[in-house]
Amino acid sequence: LAPPTMWATKNLTEHQIGQLTGLLRVIVDSGGCSGFQYKSGIVLSFFLNDHHSIVEKSGVQVLVDEASVSFLKGATLDYEEELIRTGFRISKNPVAEKGCSCGSSFTVKLD
């Protein structure tokens, strides 16, 4: 997690509704122009179940489902503010062979 990512995640997830807190959720899903795509969003903590892992760095928690863990191991999550879009983006992923210009779609390296 880059420093801007930690700031954005804390800022977006610090809202609390009773005992529920917001978590940034990052998943890998099939689709996109390269075969797999990254998706992210804020979810409430009651979505957490046995099929999720929480990755924590410097007090920032990111929720990842078990099916996505192997696709995201060693990846770097960034927060970018650009004219065409603002949001979270996976900038470096050792599992990805190549990506799309949109930055949200990738092909998995085959060993």
Beta bridge partners of 33: none
Higher-confidence position of 44 and 3: 44
Tell me the per-residue pLDDT of 59-105, one tens digit each, with 9 for 90 and over.
Answer: 778 889 999 999 999 998 888 888 887 888 888 899 998 777 666 78
Distances (CA, A) of 90 to 18, 45, 46, 104: 31, 22, 25, 7
Task: Look at residues 94, 88, 104, 75 and name the one whose alpha carbon lies nearest to residue 12.
Answer: 88
Number of domains in the chain: 1
pTM (global) more than 0.95: no
What's 58's domain CATH number? Answer: 2.60.300.12
pLDDT band, very low/low/confident/very high, at 8 (cuts 50, 70, 90): low
pLDDT band, very low/low/confident/very high, at 9 (cuts 50, 70, 90): low
The mean predicted confidence, pLDDT, of the chain is 79
Tokens of 5: 């990512």
Tell me the per-residue pLDDT of 25-53, one tens digit each, with 9 for 90 and over.
Answer: 899 999 888 889 999 888 877 777 888 88
* Total Cβ atoms within 10 A of residue 22: 19
CA separation for the pair 98, 87 (Å, rounded): 21
CA separation for the pair 37, 78 (Å, rounded): 16
Domain that holds residue 32: 3-108
